[in-house]
Structure 1
Amino acid sequence: MTKRYDVALCGYYGFGNVGDEMILHALVELAQESGLKKDRILALSASPRQTEEELSIASVNRWRAKSVLCALRKSRTLLLGGGGLLQDVTSLRSPLYYWGVVMESSIAGCHPWAFGQSVGPFHKKTSERIARDVFRRCRPRVVRDTPSQRLLSKWGLSADLAPDPAFILDVGPPIESGDVVILNIRPWGSLSVEIAREATAYAQEHGYALRCLALSPDDEALLKDFRSSGLLARAEIVRLTSWKMATSLFAGAVLAVGMRFHFFVLTLLLGTKAVAVPYDPKVESLAESWSIPVWKGERALEEVAENARRPSTKEITDARRTARESFQSALKEALEGR
């Protein structure tokens, strides 16, 4: 029986998190570059109407199990598309949800595969077993960092390695350095407080303005709480609601300091010097692969920032090429697997 869709995209889409929306936009673009038309692409989203309007693709509510099952019956493949979907740092609900969707895909005759994933970390054996079962069912498997590849290998599962899909996005020309420190903080206990203080001190020491970028509603709430307490009293706080705003909001950046993974994808694409605060293994792995210095609180930000550098045009070009080639190969394998 001929199916209506070639791929159903499943990720943390429709929640207002800029990083995940970057992944979704990039995957749709990659699918089109690989020969798929938009009417052959479907997305599971928490905000299906908004997803349809922004990307001109079909979308269903990810929380309605019957709608999801119906959609999967109409699709040849299910793509677990990018991000840290299988981890239990936030809760057990995330791995359970994606395991449930993959099980539904089996019922629906829809072949599951994975691209651009970071796997873990896990604090519970139950979460790890669930994730292992998810990836066991997915073919092909493409992860975006070496620790994830090693973990899958430990589970007896092969996986290819490729840059995060968001690297293929055209966010604009490289930013000219100015007198603004860009700060991104996500909720993460005392680490968030410490880096806010360090960034403030660094900006004041050099006479730089401090612009705080929130990539999610949680980021924005935290930054406003910090400002209310006096910690970021003089800082500008801006919510980055779309990656397309990045060029204007990074304007004048002399240094970018942050925590979220896709904050650094943006800094790399815009050619901005950066320092990473690695709250998660995926951020530390990205920093290592791009020679981004990391701050862990053991010394002053001033010392770490001295080693910050701009990425070369060749590095960005190579990352984009690898991401494209890897996706095209994975899509072909997934469709042929049907």
Structure 2
Amino acid sequence: MHAPPHVLIVGYYGFHNAGDDAVLFGILQALKTKFPGLQATVLSNAPEETTRTFGIRAVNRWRPGPIIRAIRAADFVVVGGGTLLQDRTSPRSPLYYLGITELAKRFGKPVFYYGQGFGPIVHASSRFFIRRVLSGVDLIIMRDAESARELEKTGVRGVPIAVTADPALAIDPAIADRERGRAVLADHGRTPKRPLAVVSVRPWKDRTAHLLPLARALDRVADRGFEIVFIAMQRAQDVEPALRVRAAMTRPAAVVRTPLDFRAIFGVIAEADLLIGMRLHALIFAALHGVPFVPLSYDPKIDRFVESVGLVPPLSIEALQADALMERIEATMNDLPALRRTLADRVPPVVDAARRSADLVYDAYRSRARRRPGKEARR
């Protein structure tokens, strides 16, 4: 009997970001359907916490020795998902992942980029290294067609590039901790008889101009009888802008500051009647549970996801106006049943696309094993 393979997963993990944790869970869940008994190790900023949350081995992402040992012990390496190939936050960001990729290649490991977004890339040096390093990997799976087009513009050649969907969409919605979600909402004054609007905001370029029109619009949502609850997808970043919006409101609203794992946040969003959000994975959580949402775009990835599920293009937070936002929210609130039907029709194909990523990795891994008999073939 062949032993199950061992995968090393590399990404932005262990930073208390519910979206990235959902991505990791989605990757694991999808891969395990193709590789029964799969063993996994993850590079993490908080390895002990990652092990507790996911029940897998985790290695400190900043320690070269353990990283090298983890690469050597792996049968293949998965880099994903999220938007790892961007240098807007720092020119060093893509270099970390490209460095791990180059090490894996030198140790002869198959490397698969999985459910990736792309860009923006603003430094010529980043484009050079992306082209040089990725041209030697086994497979690149992008989460949307525009990301694939932008990647191809860097000149990456000689590697298959596929388009599927964000790995978090592969999650079974049943894993949402709805009991914990209801308890959190109750602790924050939730009245079950009233409709619930969950709000997800995040920092954006040190700007705050979009927060006041959001506060004005949310006051009007509250006037329609909705309870307003802010949820933090990344605790260290999202609580402050949520508090700023609440401070500018004249109607009551709750800000959840309780540390929650991604399952509990998923559970909170599953209880909502409406979500208004900036964070991509807050929108994805809502879509998976059929919760209509009003997206606020700060990045092309928001527009791309909204398009994939057949909804009206999002409002940009650039020059956001309260009246325009409220008009969009009103249209959504007035059409909740139809929007639920739209999500019920449009989300399953996107979920299938996300799960297809694991099929592509499986096929590529087996194909390489046949071409290069050895350890891979024995597994």
Aligned amino acid, residue 224 of structure 1:
L
Aligned amino acid, residue 275 of structure 1:
V
Higher deviation after alignment, 315-324 or 161-170: 315-324
Structure 2 counterpart of 1:91: 90
Partners of 1:201 and 1:235 lie apart in 2 by 9
Tell me whether 1:186 sits opposite 2:185 in the alignment. Answer: no
Residues 285-296 of structure 1: pairs in structure 2 closer than 5 A: 285-293=304-312, 294-296=314-316
Aligned amino acid, residue 22 of structure 1:
A
Tell me whether 1:268 sits opposite 2:299 in the alignment. Answer: no
Partner deviation per Cα, 1:146-175 (whole Å, 9 max, x = no partner):
210111232344521112111121234999
Aligned amino acid, residue 85 of structure 1:
L
Give the superposition deviation at 1:281.
0.9
Partners of 2:284 and 2:106 lie apart in 1 by 36
Residues 36-51 of structure 1: pairs in structure 2 closer than 5 A: 36-38=36-38, 40-51=39-50
Normalising to structure 1: TM-score of the pair?
Answer: 0.89
For the residue of structure 1 that corresponds to 2:120, the secondary structure is coil
The verdict on how the C-alpha distance between 1:221 and 1:261 changes in structure 2, with shifts beyond 3 A counting, is: same
Alpha-carbon contact 2:164-2:354 (below 8 Å) kept: yes
Tell me whether 1:202 sits opposite 2:231 in the alignment. Answer: no
Structure 2 counterpart of 1:283: 302
Tell me whether 1:300 sits opposite 2:310 in the alignment. Answer: no
Aligned amino acid, residue 182 of structure 1:
V
* Runs of 5+ unmatched residues, structure 2: 179-191, 370-379
Partners of 2:325 and 2:175 lie apart in 1 by 27
Partners of 1:331 and 1:187 lie apart in 2 by 38
Structure showing greater radius of gyration is 2
Partners of 1:12 and 1:232 lie apart in 2 by 37
Aligned amino acid, residue 295 of structure 1:
L
The verdict on how the C-alpha distance between 1:33 and 1:86 changes in structure 2, with shifts beyond 3 A counting, is: same
Aligned amino acid, residue 37 of structure 2:
K
Alpha-carbon contact 1:8-1:72 (below 8 Å) kept: yes
Structure 2 counterpart of 1:9: 9
Structure 1 segments (4+ residues) deviating >6 Å: 173-177
Quick one: which of 161, 167, 170 aligns to 2:169?
167
For the residue of structure 2 that corresponds to 1:14, the secondary structure is coil
The verdict on how the C-alpha distance between 1:142 and 1:179 changes in structure 2, with shifts beyond 3 A counting, is: same
Higher deviation after alignment, 78-87 or 144-153: 144-153
The verdict on how the C-alpha distance between 1:197 and 1:37 changes in structure 2, with shifts beyond 3 A counting, is: same
Tell me whether 1:237 sits opposite 2:261 in the alignment. Answer: no
Give the superposition deviation at 1:197.
2.2
Alpha-carbon contact 1:181-1:255 (below 8 Å) kept: yes
Aligned amino acid, residue 326 of structure 2:
E
Pairwise CA RMSD: 2.8
Structure 1 counterpart of 2:362: 331
Give the superposition deviation at 1:224.
3.1
Structure 1 counterpart of 2:79: 80
Aligned length: 335
Partners of 1:71 and 1:4 lie apart in 2 by 16
Alpha-carbon contact 1:183-1:199 (below 8 Å) kept: no
Aligned amino acid, residue 33 of structure 1:
T
Normalising to structure 2: TM-score of the pair?
Answer: 0.80
For the residue of structure 2 that corresponds to 1:8, the secondary structure is strand
